[in-house]
Amino acid sequence: MERRSEAIRVRLSKRQFAEVEEVMSELRQQGEKVTMSDIIRNGVEKEIAAIREGGVSRRNRETELWVLITDFLHDTNKS
């Protein structure tokens, strides 16, 4: 049987984690289905695309990834 996914560990500051949980809670109250995994997967996909395009320097990748995640949250909130 082939594994369809892999588990990963992600480090966030307590502030970042609290912000994500707050936004996820708000989205859930609005009837949206969103998980931390959804947010991380979306951010990873955008990060990989940005790196392949050469638009993100190594130094700014963490900041860019957080911006991508928060953009995803705001986009989901608008749906």
> Domain spans of the chain?
35-79
Token digits of residue 27: 């989205």
Please check whether residue 24 is in contact with residue 34, taking contact to mean a CB–CB distance below 8 angstroms: yes
Entry pTM? 0.55
Q: Give the confidence band of 78 by pLDDT, cuts at 50, 70, 90.
A: low
CB atoms within 10 A of CB 47: 17
Cα separation, 68 vs 47, in Å, equals 8
Instruction: Look at 51 and 30; give whichever has higher pLDDT.
Output: 30
Cα separation, 58 vs 60, in Å, equals 6
**Per-residue pLDDT tens over the stretch 33-74:** 988 888 888 878 877 787 777 765 655 767 777 777 777 777
Q: What is the pLDDT of residue 54?
A: 75
Cα separation, 66 vs 23, in Å, equals 14
